[in-house]
Amino acid sequence: MRSLIVVTLGLVIGAGCSGKKDAAVERPESARPAAERPREQSYDDKVEALRRLIKAGELEAGLKAARELVDDHRLDSGGWVVIATAYQVVGNGEEALRAAKVAAERDAKNADAWVAVGAAERSLGHPAAAETALRKALELDPKSRAARFNLAGLAADKGQHELARKELTALVEADPDDFETRFLLATTFLAQRELGPAKEQLSRIIERYPQHFKAQRTLAGLAWAEGNYKKAFERATIASRITAGDAETARLLEGSFYIVAAARLVCAAGARPWPADKVVAVLTQLENDEGLDGAASFVELDERYGNDAVVQGRIAKAAAAAGCAVPEAQGADAGTFAAPDAAAPGAVVPDAAP
C-alpha cells in the first residue's frame, strides 16, 4: 500500500526543497590555498542526489544519503521533506512522520511539509490526523496535487470510491502522464469490480510507461483471474524484469506457465501423467514458437500441483478453451477464478494461486 500513500516522483519531493543555506552557520574558509582545498558537496547537491536516488528506486543508497543529510547543519524544511519521502518509500512510516514533523516545524508555511506529514500519518493508519495535515497543505497551496492525491487516497481507504474517483479523474485530466495518480484511479474501479475501466486505465499507463511495475503486475493478475494464462505469464514476465524478487509476481509466473504448458500437454497427450518425450516436445514448442520459458522446472511444478483438483480443473478449462477434447480423468472442476483483491490493488492476483 505504501506506493499509494505518497506520490514520490515529483508530487512531494518537487519544488519543496529550496536549498537555501543559513548564512550564520557557513563553514569557515580553510587556510590552505583554494586549489588545494577539497570541494565540499553543496547542500543543493546533497538534496538533489537524494531526490535522484529516490526516483531511481535505489532505496538502500537513498536511506544512507538521507541519514547523512540529517547531520548537515544546513538542512532546511525542504530537505527534511525529501528525507521524509525517502523513509516513506521504504515503508518506515514512523521515521517518515518524524522527519515530516521537523519539516513542518522548520517552516509551517511549507505545503509540501504538511503533505509529507499527512502521507506518513495515512501510512500509519491515522486517517483523522492525515486529513488534518493534508487540509492544512491545501490551505497553503490550493493547487497542491500531492495533497489532493493523498486526500483522494484517504477517501478510497474509507470506501468512498466515487468521491476518490472524481478527484483522481480531475488530476489525471490535468496531467495525463501522472502514472501514480492514474494507477490509484484504476484501483478505485477494481475496488468496485469495474474491471473494464480499470484495465483501460492500466493499459494507458503501460502504453506510455511500460516499466510501471504495479500496472504490469496488476494486469497479470487480472489476466489470471479471467483465465487468460498466456497473457498472465507475459505480463508477469515483464513485471519480474522490472522488479526482481517479488513473491506475488513469482507465483503468477509459475502458475500461469504451468497451466499454459499443461493445457498444451492435455491437447497433445491427454490426461496426465504425460510421457517425458511429450513434455519435452511441448516445452520446446512453447519456447521456440511463443518465447515462453518456464520460471521454474515444469517437472517440479507438476509434482507440486499435479494432484491439486482445482489446478487440474483450470488446466482442463484452458485446454477446452483451445478447442481440445478434455479427458474425463483430467478433471471437470475448473475451480473458482478469484476476482481481483481490492484490499491489495497493487498486487491483484487470485487468492489461491499457483
This prediction has a pTM of 0.72
- Minimal CA–CA distance to 236: which of 220, 213, 222, 248? 220
Residue by residue, pLDDT tens for the chain (354 residues) are: 444 334 433 444 443 333 333 333 334 444 444 444 344 456 567 667 766 766 666 666 766 766 666 666 667 888 888 888 888 877 889 989 999 999 999 999 999 999 999 999 999 999 999 999 999 999 999 999 999 999 999 999 999 999 999 999 999 999 999 999 999 999 999 999 999 999 999 999 999 999 999 999 999 999 999 999 999 999 999 999 998 888 999 999 889 999 999 999 999 988 888 888 999 898 888 887 766 665 558 888 888 888 888 888 899 999 988 888 877 655 544 333 333 333 333 434 333 344
DSSP reduced 3-state for 107:
coil
Q: Residue 164's pLDDT is what?
A: 95
Non-local CB neighbours of 233 within 8 Å, separated by 6+ positions: 220, 252, 253, 256, 257, 260, 292
Distance CA 213, CA 85 (A): 19
- Domains (ranges, CATH) in the chain? 1-23+33-155 (1.25.40.10), 159-209 (no CATH), 215-354 (no CATH)
Burial level of 253, CB count in 10 A (0-12/13-18/19+)?
buried
Q: Residue 286's pLDDT is what?
A: 84
Q: Residue 289's pLDDT is what?
A: 73
Q: Residue 43's pLDDT is what?
A: 57
Q: What is the DSSP letter of 30?
A: P
Q: Residue 234's pLDDT is what?
A: 92
